Structure 1
Amino acid sequence: MDMENNIIYMKDIVKSYKLGKNKLTVLKEVSLEVTAGEFVAVLGPSGSGKSTLMNIIGCIDVADSGEYILGGQNIKARNDDELAHVRNREIGFIFQRFNLLPKYTAIHNVAFPLLLRGINKEKAYERATLLLEKVGLGGRMKHKPLELSGGEQQRVSIARALSGEPRLLLADEPTGALDSKTGREIIDMFSELSREGNTIVMITHDLGVAKEAKRIVRVKDGKIVEE
């Protein structure tokens, strides 16, 4: 195992949920490795276990058993506060529904994670400005989410995900709420971010979107089938 280059190392991950008196095993001894700079699509239909896998990768949920090392840190050994710290520092999240703060401008949405870390306002806004220019929204910084199109909102959320220079970008159906032309633009942006050396894991049910990644991992009935 090349821990130097591995951002994600998962071995024999099992996750179950209780449904009344029954136990539903959603992930069955899943193993996955993602190295620095890779662009990986996790492809699977609804109910395949891909959302649960995403929650474990994103430290939103914890596996019942198995090993998960994220950027050299053993996630199994972390308590809730430490997991929140890992999420804030190590992972940039990009959601299907954007999850922007509706009352705040684009620039404040992007600066917000940095302000939470205690970075001073001037520096946070400076970085947010650079990132919004990078995603092509230099002229829309003072707009609130509802004044932006879906594609623009997703660009803001990409800028926000990049703000803390995370080790991993984790995108959940990033084109799911967009029309095909806008979705294409967002996927092109991921390809560009990948070329710049960012590590990206993208969850999707859409083969056309998944094919844009460098590698496809299929999830079927709680197991991983590599392409």
Structure 2
Amino acid sequence: MENNMIYMRDIVKSYKIGKNKLTVLKEVSLEIKAGEFVAILGPSGSGKSTLMNIIGCIDVADSGEYILKGENIKARNEDELAHVRNREIGFVFQKFNLLPKYKAIHNVAFPLLLRGLGKEQAYKKATRLLERVGLSDRMNHKPLELSGGEQQRVSIARALSGGPSILLADEPTGSLDSKSGSEIIEMFLALNHEGNTIVLITHDLNVAKQAKRIIHVRDGKVLEQ
């Protein structure tokens, strides 16, 4: 497990639907090292979204072992899981999840203010992050005044704001045209080159091929790494 950012062994996750039990993940095992750029690839219903939720500490497995950066996630209660999410995971969503009434810089500064950073420091850091993703001239625009690609860049800047151990991107190009999608993937490649660990969830093989390694998920199982 040395140098592993993520270590999973025999992860099982089921849901009750009425009187029936649906097993979504079936003894999944995988390892992701610090600094890797990994795509988790699978069709709709394969279990990849459930796997993402467990990686991101949004949900917990029924059984099996999950070690995230040396921490045993199975042993954590809900408050501790929230703390791990806040500290270790930077989320990037398909639909951006930006606050529509607030400018880009406010969207990036907001989680920093929630973490207790002073206002001046928060806005200085938000400015640096937006410059880093190429939006130095778009900071004072609201989401609806930005293109889809620009909104996703704001989302990436926000995800980076807490200095997370992992960037967890759920179909980050799914709402974008091919040109904007390619630019977002280039940004992930650059961030990975800087040392960021990136886990990208996708159903698109062409997107997955941009990662350094592909983990295939089908019918609740990891087929190959």
In the superposition, the TM-score normalised over structure 1's length comes to 0.98
Secondary structure of the corresponding residue to residue 168 of structure 2: strand
Q: Deviations over 1:145-191 (max 9, x none)?
A: 11111000000000000011100000000000000010000001000
Q: What's the CA shift for 1:31?
A: 0.6
Q: Distance in 1 between matches of 2:40 and 2:151?
A: 23
State the match for 1:150 in structure 2: 148
- What's the % identity of the aligned pairs? 81
Secondary structure of the corresponding residue to residue 219 of structure 1: strand
1:64 to 59, 62, 65: 62
**Structure 1 stretches lacking a partner, 5+ long:** none
State the match for 1:30 in structure 2: 28
1:107 to 105, 108, 126: 105
Q: Distance in 2 between matches of 1:12 and 1:138?
A: 45
Secondary structure of the corresponding residue to residue 76 of structure 1: helix
Q: Deviations over 1:183-224 (max 9, x none)?
A: 000001000011010000000000000000000000011000
RMSD value, Cα:
0.7
Q: What's the CA shift for 1:111?
A: 1.1
Secondary structure of the corresponding residue to residue 83 of structure 2: helix
Q: What's the CA shift for 1:112?
A: 1.2
In the superposition, the TM-score normalised over structure 2's length comes to 0.99
Q: Distance in 2 between matches of 1:82 and 1:135?
A: 31
Alignment of 1:1-227 (within 5 A): 1-2=1-2, 5-227=3-225
Amino acid at match of 1:73: E
Moved over 6 A (4+): none
Q: Distance in 1 between matches of 2:134 and 2:160?
A: 14
Q: Distance in 1 between matches of 2:41 and 2:20?
A: 27
Q: Deviations over 1:30-50 (max 9, x none)?
A: 011110100000000000000
Amino acid at match of 2:124: E
Q: Deviations over 1:71-91 (max 9, x none)?
A: 111111111111111111100
Q: Distance in 2 between matches of 1:112 and 1:27?
A: 35
Q: Deviations over 1:107-152 (max 9, x none)?
A: 1111111111101111111111001001110011111111111000
Q: Distance in 2 between matches of 1:77 and 1:11?
A: 15
Count of residue pairs brought into register by the alignment: 225
Q: What's the CA shift for 1:13?
A: 0.4
Q: Distance in 2 between matches of 1:226 and 1:125?
A: 43
Q: Distance in 2 between matches of 1:159 and 1:226?
A: 32
Q: Distance in 1 between matches of 2:177 and 2:125?
A: 29
Q: Distance in 1 between matches of 2:116 and 2:138?
A: 25
**Structure 2 stretches lacking a partner, 5+ long:** none
